[in-house]
Amino acid sequence: METYQVDGGRALEALGDPTRRTIFESLVAAPKPVVELAELLPVSRPAVSQHLKVLKEAGLVTGQAEGTRRVYRARPAAVAAMREYLDRMWDQALAAFAAAVEQDTEAERDARERPEPMKEQKS
């Protein structure tokens, strides 16, 4: 059994290519050999193999020999890793937003509490 550590950011980067994303989505639906994947795409079998190599290096898919062909499958752990990565990014974004709102609120409160400057009166 092949084991790959999945880096959520690297996995998302690998899925940045539309062809790789289509391959991955197809493999999420069901395992497939290169021949079947190539039939779904406007690219050659060697090109599909190259895309699979990138997906495999990113830890998104795994391949296993079955008879004379190699069948590829999406790795559920990869989906979980991408979700964890996005959750962390989302949590950081929300924390930054909350800090910015708090800073703006404090600035507004300070402005309200500051006395108005005295205006010169004309004679």
- Nearest-angstrom CA–CA distance, 83 and 78: 9
pLDDT digit string, tens, across residues 50-79: 999 999 999 999 999 999 999 999 998 888
Average pLDDT, the chain: 85
**Beta pairing partners, 61:** 74
> So what's the pLDDT on residue 2?
46
Mind listing the domains of the chain with CATH numbers? 1-113 (1.10.10.10)
Mean pLDDT of all residues in 16-43: 95
Structure pTM? 0.68
In sequence order, the β-bridge partners of residue 18 are: none
